């Protein structure tokens, strides 16, 4: 599909909106209007989310044809929104709107291209459930850093989960940055001028396409390197990873904060390292923000609360 964000969203609206439909028709799998939207206000609300999502994809992923949206785009967008601490209702609206987008894209492929295309955005529900469970939404704010992150990592049952958690804890990577890692992302051993130590450099793409290196311990880097000698990719299942962390937290008497809690631990320890290296508080905030693939220094303060 070609055209502006607003043109493409308008074409998709036509695939799922019909005013005045009966409720029984919208819930009947055999009816042509199954899962349609019949309220102007609801459709307008969903389309506003679509436009925001599409603009995000255009700006961060350079994606111009929104028929090419995949589940990892959805995951990155929702993680991006969660990072800025949305209300529970807003995140629920995003999830619902993307659910309708999935249907609209399927209908567009069938009605316009005469094709049955597979779109599966079910990751949206997994992320929404995690956000509710872990209180990532704004009706219950608290510090999410683990009291003993090394113990949480140690008690993970799956060795790949231990490795993924170590990368997040040591380098501050988001989950989308470590859920799938390829050999070419390993950028060898380098010198960290902040700690005066040698570290492994892992190149990741996170938060809608933001790229940069993640510095991790040599031990973690070598373990990852060994994994990638046997398989072309290092890959973890997000839901299984989340469940493993949850079980580990139960064993350690920690509040389960998911993998994102490890980023909080990284922010705190890295701020201390910058202070030890002689950086001012404001400069430390800015540099840690860059390392965590943010832009504004004020975002780092969110992790220090």
Percent of the chain clearing pLDDT 70 (strictly above): 90
Residue 48 has pLDDT above 80, yes or no: yes
Residue 94 has pLDDT above 80, yes or no: yes
* Residue found under tokens 């607003």: 6
- The residue with greater pLDDT, 203 or 29, is 203
Q: pLDDT by residue (tens digit) across 156-202?
A: 999 999 999 999 999 988 887 888 899 999 999 999 999 999 999 99
Predicted confidence at residue 208, as pLDDT, reads 53
* Average pLDDT of every residue of the chain: 86
- The residue with greater pLDDT, 221 or 28, is 221
Predicted confidence at residue 134, as pLDDT, reads 62
* Residue found under tokens 């060994």: 226
Predicted confidence at residue 305, as pLDDT, reads 59
Residue 142 has pLDDT above 60, yes or no: no
Residue 291 — very low, low, confident or very high, per pLDDT cuts 50/70/90? confident
Burial class (CB in 10 A: 0-12, 13-18, 19+), 149: buried
Highest mean pLDDT out of 94-108, 115-129, 222-236: 94-108
Highest mean pLDDT out of 187-201, 257-271, 272-286: 187-201
Residue 210 has pLDDT above 80, yes or no: no
Predicted confidence at residue 76, as pLDDT, reads 82
Beta strands 186-192 and 197-206 are antiparallel
pTM of the prediction? 0.61
* Residue found under tokens 């832009």: 295
Of 259, 305, 3, which Cα lies nearest the Cα of 143?
Answer: 305
- DSSP code for 254: P
Residue 125 has pLDDT above 70, yes or no: yes
Q: Are 129 and 137 in contact (CB under 8 A)?
A: no
Predicted confidence at residue 177, as pLDDT, reads 84
Residue 60 — very low, low, confident or very high, per pLDDT cuts 50/70/90? confident
Mean pLDDT of the 84-102 span: 87
Report the SS3 class of residue 182.
strand
- The residue with greater pLDDT, 84 or 285, is 285
Residue 209 has pLDDT above 70, yes or no: no
- In this structure, is the dihedral angle defined by the CA atoms of residues 149, 246, 294 and 220, taken in order, positive or negative? positive
Predicted confidence at residue 12, as pLDDT, reads 96
Distance CA 101, CA 120 (A): 10
Q: Are 104 and 117 in contact (CB under 8 A)?
A: no
Residue 216 has pLDDT above 70, yes or no: yes
Least confident of 86-95, 144-153, 294-303: 294-303
Predicted confidence at residue 140, as pLDDT, reads 46
Least confident of 45-54, 60-69, 137-146, 242-251: 137-146
Range(s) for CATH 1.10.443.10 in the chain? 149-304
Q: Which helix (H) or strand (E) holds 23?
A: helix 23-26
Predicted confidence at residue 156, as pLDDT, reads 95
The CATH code of the domain at 149-304 is: 1.10.443.10
């Amino acid at each position: 599909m070609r055209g502006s964000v607003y043109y493409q969203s308008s074409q998709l609206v036509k695939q799922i909106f019909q005013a005045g439909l009966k409720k029984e028709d919208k819930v009947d799998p055999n009816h042509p209007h199954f899962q349609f939207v019949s309220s102007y206000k609801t459709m307008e609300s969903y389309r506003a989310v679509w436009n925001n999502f599409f603009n995000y994809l255009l700006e961060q992923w350079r994606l111009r044809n929104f028929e090419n949206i995949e589940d990892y785009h959805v995951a990155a967008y929702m993680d991006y929104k969660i990072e800025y601490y949305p209300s529970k209702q807003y995140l629920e609206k995003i999830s619902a709107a993307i659910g309708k987008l999935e249907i609209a894209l399927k209908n567009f492929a069938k009605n316009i291209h005469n094709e049955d295309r597979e779109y599966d955005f079910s990751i949206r529900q997994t992320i929404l459930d995690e956000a509710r469970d872990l209180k990532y939404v704004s009706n219950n704010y608290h510090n999410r850093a683990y009291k003993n992150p090394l113990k949480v990592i140690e008690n993970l049952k799956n060795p790949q989960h231990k490795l993924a958690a170590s990368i997040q804890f040591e380098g501050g990577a988001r989950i989308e940055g470590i859920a799938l890692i390829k050999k070419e992302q390993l950028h060898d051993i380098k010198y960290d001028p902040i700690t005066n130590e040698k570290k492994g450099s892992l190149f990741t793409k996170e938060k809608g396409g933001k790229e940069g290196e993640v510095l991790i311990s040599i031990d973690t880097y070598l373990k990852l390197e060994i994994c990638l000698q046997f398989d072309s990719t290092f890959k973890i299942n997000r839901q299984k990873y989340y469940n493993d962390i949850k079980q580990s937290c139960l064993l350690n008497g920690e509040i389960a904060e998911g993998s994102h809690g490890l980023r909080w631990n990284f922010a705190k320890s890295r701020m201390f390292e910058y202070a030890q290296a002689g950086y001012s508080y404001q400069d430390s905030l800015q540099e840690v923000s860059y390392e965590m693939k943010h832009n504004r220094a004020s975002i780092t303060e969110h992790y220090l609360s």
